[in-house]
A = this chain, B = another copy of it.
């Protein structure tokens, strides 16, 4: 009957067990609860309880599959900087949604400063990149200018898990 409660965005304190569980799941999110418990040094039931608590507290926002753009025929990565002309709030949101939904777009950063949006994209090749920009980005009247940087490599950082 009860729906999920809205995820808290409040700060949460983690103990060593929580950190161990999260670190393990950051490596392999499909690790069994039993393996997780062994690694964290607690009973399986405790581990399952902790995991649920971590989800509920909003620390663990999801466990998701990561795909290889290369294996799916998109070996060329780029950052497309998008600068807008007008900034009507409504229209910015619409554009934001559109850009986020384009095939090949991995991440969209809404930023302050020189640019308005940074798009991290993966495409099949130079022609596909050009087509993406011309047909799906610069076509929008709000977009004043774009600038594209080739991405040689992307690495996941250490992240936000406490030591």
Contact = CB atoms under 8 A, between A and B. Distances in A.
A64 interface: yes
B11 A71 contact: yes
B105 A157 contact: yes
Interface residues of A, number: 71
Contacts of A66: 60-64
Contact of A63 (B29, B70, B72, B107): B29
A126 interface: no
A163 interface: yes
A35 interface: no
Interface of A: 8-12, 14, 22, 25-30, 57-74, 79, 96, 99-115, 118-122, 148-163
